[in-house]
A and B are shown apart, each in its own frame.
Chain A
Amino acid sequence: DAGVIQSPRHEVTEMGQEVTLRCKPISGHNSLFWYRQTMMRGLELLIYFNNNVPIDDSGMPEDRFSAKMPNASFSTLKIQPSEPRDSAVYFCASSLRADQPQHFGDGTRLSIL
């Protein structure tokens, strides 16, 4: 079975550039999550979608961050403009329902120079 698929796996870009991270959830899952992982702050929930609708974006750090889910099989997380402090590993996860086990992708390691 295909798991959660994220792309790219690694991204290195310069400060000020736009960054787009992509996620394909597991088919049939109605809940999608974006997380950020850093040494200092651990795993942080950025945004939660249910049936393609953003339900909770309280974890999005600031207006430079935006996320979309145009259909059940695709989501993007965009950072514009990027800053060095955005360097982290970004994970996408999906679950069958909101309170069911979350399945994580392998993440995107983002480095902003």
Chain B
Amino acid sequence: AQSVTQPDIHITVSEGASLELRCNYSYGATPYLFWYVQSPGQGLQLLLKYFSGDTLVQGIKGFEAEFKRSQSSFNLRKPSVHWSDAAEYFCAVGAAGTYKYIFGTGTRLKVLA
């Protein structure tokens, strides 16, 4: 079955600390992978995407993610978190030629001053 798992529902970090949000997927085809961020009252904003090639991808707002095929993972990282990063983060998987995304259930990030 196709699925995306974000095992952490909530994460709390201190401002300036490093961050890693986990995403694991189960998908039959070679996946396209995405991370989105949703601030309160806003839509989902695309942080970064992986289609092929270099498995370490850089995104906006200082985020990066690494695709590890052997672990079926696409974890999101940021070396130093800012208070404005507090939001909900969604991992999603798609594939070439398909319009359907499978979204994870989200990880809500809280940042302590």
Q: A residues near B, CB below 8 A? A: 4, 31, 33, 42-43, 45, 48, 50, 55-56, 91, 93, 95, 98-99, 101-107, 109
Interchain nearest-CB distance for B42 vs A (Å): 6
- Contact across chains for B99 and A50 when beta carbons are under 8 A apart: yes
Query: Of the candidates B34, B42, B90, which one forms a contact with A43 in the assembled complex, judged by CB atoms under 8 Å apart?
Result: B90
- Contact across chains for B99 and A55 when beta carbons are under 8 A apart: yes
- Contact across chains for A99 and B41 when beta carbons are under 8 A apart: no
- B106: which A residues are within 8 A, CB to CB? 42
Interchain nearest-CB distance for A67 vs B (Å): 15
* Further contacts, 12 of them, CB under 8 A, given A50-B99, A98-B97: A42-B106, A43-B90, A48-B99, A48-B100, A56-B100, A98-B98, A99-B94, A99-B95, A99-B96, A104-B36, A104-B44, A107-B42
- A99: which B residues are within 8 A, CB to CB? 32, 94-99
Kindly report which residue of chain A lies nearest to residue B42, judged by CB atoms.
A106
Q: Is B46 an interface residue (CB 8 A)?
A: yes
- A48: which B residues are within 8 A, CB to CB? 99-100
Q: Interface size for chain B: under 10, 10 to 19, 20 to 34, or 35 or more residues?
A: 20 to 34
The CA-CA distance from A45 to B43 in the complex, in Å, is 15
Kindly report which residue of chain A lies nearest to residue B101, judged by CB atoms.
A102
The 26 sampled A-B contact pairs (Cβ below 8 Å) are A4-B43, A31-B99, A42-B106, A43-B90, A43-B103, A48-B99, A56-B99, A93-B43, A93-B44, A98-B99, A99-B32, A99-B94, A99-B96, A99-B98, A99-B99, A101-B34, A101-B49, A102-B101, A103-B46, A104-B36, A104-B44, A105-B43, A106-B42, A106-B43, A107-B43, A109-B41
Q: Is B105 an interface residue (CB 8 A)?
A: yes
